[in-house]
Amino acid sequence: MRALSLTLGEWLEAFIADLERRNYSPRSTRSYRYDLLLFVAWVGEQADLKSPGDLTTPVLEQYQMHLMLRPSRKSSKDRRTMSAGARNRHLAELRSFFKYLKRSCKLLSNPSSELEMARDTRKLPKTILSIPEMARLLETIPKITPSGLRDWAAVELLYGTGVRRFELLGLDLTDLRLAEELVHVLGKGNKERVVPIGKAARQALERYLAEGRPRLVRGEHRKLFVSAAHGGPVRDVELMLAIRKHATRAGIKKFISYHQFRHTFATHLLRGGADLRAIQALLGHEMLSTTALYTRVDVSDLKKTLKQCHPREQDNTPPT
């Protein structure tokens, strides 16, 4: 049993190296390694698992049950078990690992292909920013300093395109096609998409590129957003702290995050009448169900729609 665990450990390192060759981010590879090491350790504790051929679908289902009973890392005090979302992340990583093992001829078959994902009782997205709040935030950001121009362009791009944190910070100068009002985005799994940008985002970017970035940048790097501290590519923490300071000055008490702008972008589009499939393409989602989670519609909106559109809610509904 120990021999199998050691073998899996070696295969895991080869798998991580393969992810790095495919340009997975350091954060993603750390997550894969940490989560899959839990599986390797579990295999080492199973006396009846002695060779790779013993890793069958029923065995992986036993590991799935083990995850269901395992305490969450974030809830060590009250000992709550791992959430369905966290278990699904583990299983998705396990599937990717076993796909790699089959593709690299280390296994003859993929026992993880039959695993069923946990039913995820997804929470609604956190509170989005309202249209007036977005307007106040954008108005409050100063447009006379290099860092202010950077923050303005970043918020306009976040709100105007719904890009993810790593997508925003990964943008190079060559990804912009301002004359066409387009931006080239490299998303999850190195999947590319071209996203339109509106007039407001284009104008903010043009001002930043002309008056802000040249005064911030040091060196020859081509990243779009630049640190005010050292002139290199800006880190996510520095940029978000700056945006939160602007939000505080704008009187916004809600917690601000990169993902909140993504929720806000999608929900405002939906409320404006955008088709869900169009929002799916803009966000770079593979599954429409994922887009539906991001585009939360408040219950008050649903009540209003029901009263306006349902025949039984009309004043002239005849009595039965």
Catalytic machinery residues: 164, 188, 259, 262, 285, 294
What's the distance, Cα to Cα, between the start and end of the chain in Å? 72
C-beta of residue 209 within 8 angstroms of C-beta of residue 223: no
A 10 A CB-CB count for 298 gives 12
